[in-house]
Amino acid sequence: MARATGCHLETIRYYEKIGLLPDPPRSANGYRIYDETAVRRLRFILRARELGFGIDEVRGLLHLIDCRSQTCAEVQRQTEPHLAEVRAKVADLQRIEAILVKTMSQCSGENVPECPIIDALAA
């Protein structure tokens, strides 16, 4: 499954340990056996994590899938707080960018000891 998804083995074990992935059946010699359903579930988890969803948020979405109770409205309800967080982070990053652009525009870039960037960080 690690090869099929590009996910580290330790991460797969962690997701099993915290219950995002069910314990897989084992072969007679003790090897874990993963089917396509497990691979799809792990891909879902990995994509959700790439989009910034926290473990509990992923768990909530998986619960909807597992209980076969997901509706678009319920998924949207669970996703809205995450979108609000993403938008707040984007706004913060844009504010930081504007401050850095302004500060860097005041810097001469020459070999002098005075530097507006250092002054701004020290203030």
pLDDT for res 110: 79
Residues 32-37, mean pLDDT to the nearest whole number: 94
Whole-angstrom distance, CA of residue 4 vs CA of residue 41: 12
Q: In degrees rounded to 5, what are phi and psi of residue 101?
A: -60, -45
Spatial neighbors of 122 by CB under 8 A, at least 6 apart, are none
Query: Rounded to whole angstroms, what are the CA distances from 112 to 14, 28, 86, 116, 118?
Result: 52, 72, 40, 11, 12
Per-chain mean pLDDT for the chain: 93
pLDDT for res 103: 87
Whole-angstrom distance, CA of residue 83 vs CA of residue 88: 9
CATH topology of domain 1-70: Multidrug-efflux Transporter Regulator; Chain: A; Domain 2 (1.10.1660)
Summarised one tens digit per residue, pLDDT across range 47-93 is 999 999 999 999 999 999 999 888 899 999 999 999 999 999 999 99
Summarised one tens digit per residue, pLDDT across range 111-120 is 878 888 888 8
